[in-house]
Amino acid sequence: VAGNTNDRLQALKDILAEVTDLSRAAALLEWDQETYMPPGGVQSRSEQISTILRLSHVRFTSDEVGRLLDQLEDDVAKLPFDSDEASLVRVTRRDYDEATKLPPDLISEIARAGSMAQPVWQKARREANFSLFAPYLEKNVELNRRIADAIGYDERPYDALINRSEPGMTTAQLEEIFAELKRVIVPLAADIARHADVVDDRVLYRGFDPDLQLAYALGLVKRLGYDLERGRQDISTHPFSTAFGPGDVRITTRVSREFFNECLFGSIHESGHAMYNQGMGQNIDRTPLWGGASPGVHESQSRFWENLVGRSLPFWRHFYPSLTATFPEPLRGVDEEAFYRAVNRSYPSLIRVEADEVTYNMHVLLRFELENEMLEGTLKVKDLPEAWNTRFKSYLGLNVPNDREGVLQDIHWSYVSFGIFPGYTIGNLISAQLMEKIRTEIPDLEGQIEKGQFATLLGWLRKNVHRHGRKFTPNELLERATGRPLTAGPWIAYVQQKFGALYGLQAVKR
Ligand code: ZN
């Protein structure tokens, strides 16, 4: 490509802008599918989405992009690591290699295997019969090995897979972190279980008017800083957040009359994702730098607001009066402290997506171990249910009654990609690591939250996390924001302190 560096950068950006527009258009079609599309639209919609994504993939993986990257890597070599230009070339290269490394016939085999396995997984789950699904999972394990081989790795095959979603993370780093978590959570969860009667959450099931819940939740996330000029909330079966650009970042929620937590904490969670996208710099819009640094970092933002802010006592000191004014009947006779305890009740449960803050990471750890062992061949697929059930018992003390509530509960293993689960724990840990740093830089944080002031907090996240988008890997981002890479220490200190106080555990020990 002729011309100078600026011409080449502009040529690359023009292509990347088109690629971004196409994928955002596909995301809008997906949003519509989950919210308003009539059931009859499924067939046409899946064709439209796959056409758009194919066009986007072809445009992105073109030889032209490869040539521009080759030349631009020399052009930007002397620019600072964190400059927009050097970052654009570095991150686009990573995406380009990932998109071009898998041979086309492997990509179509993966797609085929996923679409064949999913209905079988649904049937197997419905009938709680793992043996129906086992041959399909065996195929998926084999395909995951082939993906790892095609991408390449130094130490462990799982490294190649985890790198696709959490760039820079290694299996060894995660094993160390999970081992540390296991040493703390197993005894803590058992200790909490022995004091289970200290926390009563029956108030959450007293029946709350759905329309009032929706209005209250929307008003609340607006107060946190979710900008409704650039966002909106709709209803869907599974809540999610999606972004079509800096000016249009949406959330969905669901509401249950029977269980209070679903709508409010779901909305706070999704608005955490959405505020992340709303805070990404205009300077990186329509490039691969615009987006979450990783699924784990994205999850850190949602958990930050949902758990560290939304499930804190100062938060409820501020919001509880307006909550009781909105729902006087169901909240009668319950004070803010009792309500705070109710929304933080911790107990071992079978289902990951229903797990509380303390036990959640054990569900992830279990899946991480099993995926790794299947991939390395030390665990046979046919032995998976037994391994699941045995470990579940030793980690969370529960007997798994059937495969539906055990090994078949998640959709993830019915499509091919391993390496997704660790992101959930990475998110939890990052949220606490950021909060530890924030407390040193905003010493009055609790006072501000108690007054319903969130602007300084959101400003810190904007400056240190949001505006960078995908410029940095998760570890790089954490080094810059907190001075060290991912570590379990802050999260462990947080749950020990919070749940020790909630359940009166220290008092018992001393
Ligand atoms: Zn989330």
CA distance 477 to 464: 8
User: Residue 201 Cα, ligand 1 centroid: separation in angstroms?
Assistant: 24
- pLDDT, one tens digit per residue, over 213-222 is 999 999 999 9
Checking if the pLDDT of 509 tops 50, the result is: no
Q: Give 302 Cα–ligand 1 centroid separation in angstroms.
A: 6
Give the number of other CB atoms < 10 A from CB of residue 205.
Answer: 15
Answer yes or no: are the C-beta atoms of 302 and 272 closer than 8 Å: yes
Average the pLDDT over each of 12-26, 36-50, 214-228, 258-272 and give the range with the smallest value: 36-50
Taking only the tens place, the pLDDT of each residue in 463-498 is 999 999 999 999 999 999 999 999 999 999 999 999
Measured in Å, residue 308 CA sits from the centre of ligand 1 at 14
Instruction: Say how far apart CA 385 and CA 362 lie, in whole Å.
Output: 17
pLDDT digits (tens, 9 = 90+) for 34-57: 999 999 998 999 899 989 999 999
The DSSP result for 405-463, as a single string, is: TTTTS-SGGGSS--S-THHHHHHHHHHHHHHHHHHHH-TTHHHHHHTT--HHHHHHHHH
* Separation of CA 508 and ligand 1 centre (Å): 35
Residue 235 per-residue DSSP state? E
| Per-residue pLDDT, 294 | 97
| Residue with tokens 């803050």, as numbered in its chain | 357
Tell how far the Cα of 492 is from the centroid of ligand 1, in angstroms: 21
Quick: pLDDT tens for 148-201: 999 999 999 999 999 999 999 999 999 999 999 999 999 999 999 999 999 999
Which whole number is the average pLDDT over 106-128? 92
Q: How far is the CA of 15 from the centre of ligand 1 (A)?
A: 30
Residues 6+ apart with CB under 8 A from 409: 125, 350, 351, 352
Residues of the chain above pLDDT 90, percent:
93
The pLDDT mean for the chain works out to 95
pLDDT of 1 reads: 54
Q: What are the residue numbers of the active site?
A: 270
Residue 445 CA to ligand 1 centre (angstroms): 24
Is the Cα dihedral 336, 337, 340, 342 positive or negative? negative
For residue 67, report the distance from its CA to the centre of ligand 1, in Å: 37
| 291 vs 46, more confident | 291
> Which residues have CB under 8 Å from 421's CB, separation 6+?
364, 367, 368, 371, 412
**Among the ranges given (127-131, 207-211, 352-356), the one the predictor scored with the smallest mean pLDDT:** 352-356
Bridge-based pairing of strands 233-235 and 241-243 is unpaired
Q: How far is the CA of 289 from the centre of ligand 1 (A)?
A: 20
Residue 510 pLDDT exceeds 70: no
Percent of the chain with pLDDT over 70: 99
- Close Cβ partners of 244 (under 8 Å, ≥ 6 residues apart): 24, 25, 27, 28, 250
pTM, full prediction: 0.95
Distance 269 CA to ligand 1 centre (A): 6
Ligand 1 centroid–CA 295 distance in Å is 8
Instruction: Tell me how long the chain is.
Output: 510
Q: How far does the centroid of ligand 1 lie from the alpha carbon of residue 310, in Å? A: 14
- 365-406 tens-digit pLDDT: 999 999 999 999 999 999 999 999 999 999 999 999 999 999
